Amino acid sequence: MVAQAQLADSSALFELVQTALPDPILGLTEAFIKDTRSEKVNLGVGVYQNGSGNVPLLESVHKAESKLVADAESKSYLPIDGLPEYNRLVQQLLLGADSLVAAAGCAVTIQAVGGTGALKVGADFLRSVCGAAVIWISTRGSSFGNILTTIRTHIRSTSRP
């Protein structure tokens, strides 16, 4: 139980942790909240808000969730790379229905948690398999760079979306 003895003072565990850079997208929301102008527009996280600033549960979302629950056949884990049909449809959407790359088996799609979490999972995987992987990210209003700098992967940026 050496580890427990060394961590008797739980604050010592976090002494060397550096504060992360502020998230620019969440910063937009903070600026929106502080802005007193009535004609302001929230350019932060892309979630619909009603006039009171609440995120309502749209009837269409409620119906879709109810259908998913009603049609569920299992609560087991998904395959490690996600639902095969979902992955196939994502490739079709991104590469086109007649993609030679997809048809040749040269495209790989995995299903992961959304947004920056998916990028972190992918970047960690690339680092473990490829070592000094290069990851291209868009600099257009993105906080993704902050997430990816938490791993030892070379990052290059582009202004393209």
How does pLDDT run across 64-113, given as a tens digit for each residue?
A: 999 989 998 888 888 888 899 999 998 998 889 999 988 998 888 888 77
Measured CA angle at 40 (ends 36, 46), to 5 deg: 125
**Is 91 inside any structural domain?**
no
Do 138 and 160 form a contact (C-beta atoms < 8 A)? yes
What DSSP designation does 7 have? Answer: T
What are the pLDDT digits (tens) for 17-63? 677 677 777 788 888 889 999 888 777 777 777 878 788 888 999 99
> Cα separation of 131 and 152, whole Å?
9
Q: Return d(Cα 96, Cα 93) in angstroms, integer.
A: 6
Q: Report the distance separating Cα 22 and Cα 32, nearest Å.
A: 16
The residue ranking higher by pLDDT, 5 or 48, is: 48
Q: Is residue 127 part of a domain?
A: yes
Q: Please list, in sequence order, all residues whose beta carbon lies within 8 angstroms of the beta carbon of residue 124, skipping any fewer than 6 positions away.
A: 151
Q: Is residue 124 in some structural domain?
A: yes
Look at residue 58 and tell me if it is in a domain: yes
CA distance 34 to 161: 29
pLDDT of 5 over the 50 cut: no
Classify residue 93: in a domain, yes or no: no
Q: Can you read off the two tokens belonging to residue 109? A: 């799609």
Asked if the structure places residue 152 within a domain, the reply is: yes
Find the distance separating the first CA and the last CA of the chain, reported in whole Å.
Answer: 50
Which residues have C-beta within 8 Å of that of residue 24, sequence separation ≥ 6? 141, 142, 143
Which pTM value belongs to this model? Answer: 0.45
Is there a domain that residue 104 lies in? no
pLDDT of residue 155: 59
Q: Which domain holds residue 21?
A: 2-76+112-158
Number of compact structural domains in the chain: 1
Name the residue with higher pLDDT: 154 or 47: 47
- 8 Å CB contact between 11 and 131: no
Question: Considering the domain boundaries, does residue 105 fall inside one?
Answer: no
